[in-house]
Amino acid sequence: MPDRTGRNAEQPLNLASPEGLAALLSRRSVKTKDLDEPGPGPEDLERILAAARRVPDHGKLAPWRFLVFRGTARDALGRLIGECYRREEAQPDATVAKGLEGFALQAPVLVVLVSTPSDARPIPEWEQRLSAGAAGFALLAATHMTGYAGQWLTGWPAYSHELARTLGLGREDRIAGFFFLGTPKRKPSERPRPTREQVVREFTTAEEVSAARGRMLP
Ligand SMILES: Cc1cc2nc3c(=O)[nH]c(=O)nc-3n(C[C@H](O)[C@H](O)[C@H](O)COP(=O)(O)O)c2cc1C
């Protein structure tokens, strides 16, 4: 059983986990309209967040933060988002504002992932942003493996300067996404995925590499 940091002292490094792989191969998002109670409880959520903190991170900068909203904290966040919309937009639309007030209520648990690049060490910002993306995926994968489902959404709130200010984000900080977590009401239909041919090209000889110079992508 992993501890709160996600570490498992007894686990060998070369652990083969067909179940884990099967979970990754079957993962898919569940739209928020199909997410219901219960959301992950405190213990499950701790492990999900521990998995998200174990992502590759060049320079040990931990260039990401997680804001967790549950219960009535989601109502309060929704109201803040509505206020930000009314302040930020020159001609706010009442229906859109109302919709945004309900934004945070789309699932029992909401995790806001913030990309927080640091200049404490000379690690390119691009790499720190990629690490935040990896944290988002780890969050979703761990959610799926814990028996819940989630969806990564952005939309207006992710790009709002007012909301960023309200959350206390720094100048370089960006909202990477809102992760809505809950229990799926129904099995989601499969989504077409890119085929191997579309996105993978494999080279097995030196001649293939030479012949493909300048046009290696599939
Ligand atoms: C950075 C990012 C932002 C996203 N924002 C939205 C969004 O605002 N609305 C939406 O419908 N899907 C959004 N998606 C897509 C869904 O999270 C999800 O990937 C999609 O529904 C397909 O599900 P899958 O995880 O099974 O591939 C976003 C995905 C990413 C990576």
Closest ligand 1 atom to residue 27 Cα is 26
Q: Which of 154, 159, 180 to mutate to test the pocket of ligand 1 (most atoms within 8 A of CB)?
A: 154
Indicate which CATH number applies to the domain containing 98: 3.40.109.10
Instruction: Give the chain's mean pLDDT.
Output: 95
Domain that holds residue 184: 26-188
Phi, psi (deg, nearest 5) at residue 49: -70, -35
Span 57-62, average pLDDT = 98
Residue 215 lies in a domain: no
- Alpha-carbon span 53 to 140, nearest angstrom: 12
Please tell me the predicted confidence (pLDDT) of residue 1: 52
Span 44-63, average pLDDT = 98
Nearest CA to ligand 1 atom 13: 153
Residue 215 contacts residue 142 (beta carbons within 8 Å): no
Phi, psi (deg, nearest 5) at residue 118: -125, 150
pTM summary value: 0.94
Q: How many domains does the chain divide into?
A: 1
Residue 210 lies in a domain: no
Residue 111 has pLDDT above 80, yes or no: yes
Span 12-33, average pLDDT = 92
Contact residues of ligand 1, CB 6 A cut-off = 28-29, 151-155, 177, 191
Residue 6 has pLDDT above 80, yes or no: no
- Alpha-carbon span 147 to 133, nearest angstrom: 22
Residue 4 has pLDDT above 70, yes or no: no
